[in-house]
Copies of this chain bind each other. A is one copy, B any other.
Amino acid sequence: MALRHAVLAALLDDEYSGYQLAKAFDISVANFWHALPQQLYAELARLEADGLVVGREVVQETRPNKRLFRVTEAGRAELERFAEAASKPSSIRDDLLVKVQTADRVGTGPVIEQLEQRAAAAGAKLELLGKLLDNMRGDTDEAEYLLRGERVGRYLTCLRGLAFEREHRDWCLRTAAVLRERQQTDAER
């Protein structure tokens, strides 16, 4: 039930509409919890029914009206409870790893391609996260920001994302190289 808490966490920073939340999720929260807009709308409705967030209608002239949500005291207390409860162990859970597992025996070619696409995607995300971090930090240096900056939680999770993407990119490239080399070696025999 962490989507629920991820939404609460995101709303702790700011009031958001479902639509805005979907965008915000895409850039920062998506690092560690991805969700489609439909899920977010559904979750917001449930959170409101449970009294953990409240929505207020904002009438707009030139665009459709929207509902902005903010966390209630009960919502904050729920986050508190959540923080105290045990976390489940994390693991990678990646299609591509399943494919690599058998890549030396079935369908090596397409896997190499996918590894290289992934590496490129990870590289792009890496850059994006780098900029996001620069932005949050402003012109204070990192040590100072970590010690006294605001919203350090978000900064720390982005650091995790950054490390993950870097690691992911490097592994994809290395793995692609290994599989390519092996194809070469096989062909020579």
Contacts and interface: CB of A to CB of B under 8 A. Distances in A.
Interface of A: 2, 5-6, 9-10, 12, 29-34, 76, 79-80, 82-84, 86-107, 110-111, 114, 118, 121, 146-148, 151-154, 156-157, 159-161, 163-164, 167-168, 170-171, 175, 178, 181-182, 185
A171 B160 contact: yes
Contacts of A175: 156, 159-160
11 contacts: A32-B94, A33-B97, A34-B89, A83-B103, A87-B114, A90-B168, A100-B156, A100-B160, A103-B156, A104-B153, A156-B178
A6 B157 CA distance: 29
Contacts of A167: 163-164, 167
Contact of A32 (B34, B89, B97, B154): B97
A83 B106 contact: yes
How many subunits of this chain does the assembly comprise? 2
B178 A121 contact: no
A148 B188 CA distance: 13
A139 B10 CA distance: 50
B98 A84 contact: no
Given A32-B93, A84-B110, A152-B178, 8 more contacts: A10-B101, A12-B102, A31-B97, A32-B97, A33-B94, A93-B93, A105-B153, A148-B182
A107 B83 contact: yes
Given A163-B171, A181-B147, A90 B101 contact: no
Contact of A104 (B86, B95, B151): B151
